[in-house]
C-alpha cells in the first residue's frame, strides 16, 4: 500500500476533514497545530488523542503550515479559493521545500476525473504521508463536506476499505441504518445511531426499567 498516513494542521474545513476521513479508513493520522491546539473554533486539545497531532511552539498558523509540508511526502490542497492567505502560505512552503503537490479545485464540475488524477499522482510520487490542506470552513462554507466527499472517493479508489466502525450499520435500538456521518457510537459491541429521537427513546426505556 502506498498511502499510510494523513497529516494536517487540524483547522476547520479541509484540514479536519482530512483527519476524519483518514480515521474512517483506518489510516494513521498526525500533523502539527499552532500552540494551544488553536483553531478558528477555539482550542482543540482533544485532537492530540483523537488524531495524534502535536503542538507547535508558535501560536501563528504559518510555522505549522511549513512544518506539515516539510514532514510529508506531498501536499494536497483542496479549495474553492486558492487566493486565500492560507493557500498562498501553503504554496510558498511547497515551493520552498520542493515537495510534490496536487490541487483539487472544489468548484470543478468533474471531480471524478480529479479523483482519478489524484490516485495517479499519489502512486507516481510514492506518497506515504499525505499532507491535507485547504480552505477553512469560515473561508468557504461547505469546504468540510466537499473535502470529505472527495477524499472518501479518493481513498476508495486507492483500494482502501473503511474501518469496521465506520461502515454503515443498523442501529441496535431503532434499527435504522446510519454511517459515520451521524454521531454514532458503540457500546458493548452494539452500535447506536445517536439520533435525537432514538436517544430520547433509549432514555425513556431506561427510566421504565429503573421504575420496575
Rounded to whole angstroms, the Cα distance separating 146 from 165 reads 22
Question: For the whole prediction, is pTM greater than 0.75?
Answer: yes
Closest CA to 176 of 150, 164, 194, 156: 194
pLDDT per residue as tens digits for the range 51-103: 999 999 999 999 999 999 999 999 999 999 999 999 999 999 999 999 999 99
Whole-number Å distance between alpha carbons of 71 and 52: 14
Q: What are the structural domains, with CATH classification, of the chain?
A: 5-157 (3.40.50.450), 168-211 (no CATH)
Task: Give the whole-angstrom CA distance, residue 189 versus residue 196.
Answer: 21
Confidence of residue 164 (pLDDT cuts 50, 70, 90): low
Q: How far apart are CA 114 and CA 40, in angstroms?
A: 29
Task: Please provide the distance, in angstroms rounded to a whole number, between the alpha carbons at the two ends of the chain.
Answer: 55
pLDDT of residue 200: 87
Q: Which three cell numbers stand for residue 88?
A: 498562498
Report how far residue 134's alpha carbon sits from residue 13's, in angstroms, rounded to the nearest whole number: 7
CA distance 117 to 105: 12
For 105-155, how does the pLDDT look when each residue is reduced to its tens digit (9 = 90+)?
A: 999 999 999 999 999 999 999 999 999 999 999 999 999 999 999 999 999
Give the CA distances from residue 91 to residues 35, 60, 132, 136, in Å, rounded to whole numbers and listed in that order.
22, 17, 12, 16
Amino acid at each position: 500500500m502506498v498511502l499510510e498516513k494523513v497529516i494536517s494542521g487540524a483547522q476547520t474545513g479541509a484540514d479536519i476533514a482530512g483527519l476524519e476521513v483518514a480515521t474512517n479508513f483506518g489510516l494513521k493520522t498526525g500533523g502539527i497545530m499552532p500552540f494551544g491546539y488553536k483553531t478558528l473554533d477555539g482550542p482543540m486539545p482533544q485532537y492530540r488523542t483523537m488524531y495524534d497531532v502535536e503542538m507547535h511552539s508558535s501560536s501563528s498558523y504559518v510555522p505549522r503550515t511549513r512544518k506539515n509540508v516539510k514532514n510529508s511526502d506531498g501536499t494536497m490542497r483542496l479549495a474553492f479559493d486558492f487566493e486565500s492567505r492560507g493557500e498562498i502560505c501553503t504554496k510558498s512552503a511547497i515551493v520552498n521545500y520542493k515537495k510534490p503537490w496536487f490541487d483539487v479545485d472544489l468548484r470543478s464540475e468533474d471531480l471524478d476525473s480529479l479523483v482519478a488524477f489524484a490516485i495517479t499522482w499519489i502512486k507516481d510520487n510514492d506518497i506515504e504521508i499525505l499532507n491535507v490542506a485547504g480552505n477553512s470552513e469560515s473561508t468557504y462554507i461547505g469546504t468540510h463536506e466537499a473535502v470529505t466527499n472527495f477524499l472518501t472517493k479518493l481513498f476508495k479508489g486507492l483500494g482502501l476499505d473503511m474501518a469496521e466502525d465506520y461502515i454503515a450499520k443498523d442501529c441496535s435500538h431503532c434499527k435504522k441504518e446510519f454511517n459515520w456521518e451521524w454521531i454514532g457510537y458503540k457500546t458493548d459491541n452494539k452500535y447506536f445511531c445517536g439520533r435525537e429521537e432514538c436517544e430520547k427513546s433509549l432514555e425513556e426505556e431506561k427510566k421504565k426499567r429503573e421504575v420496575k
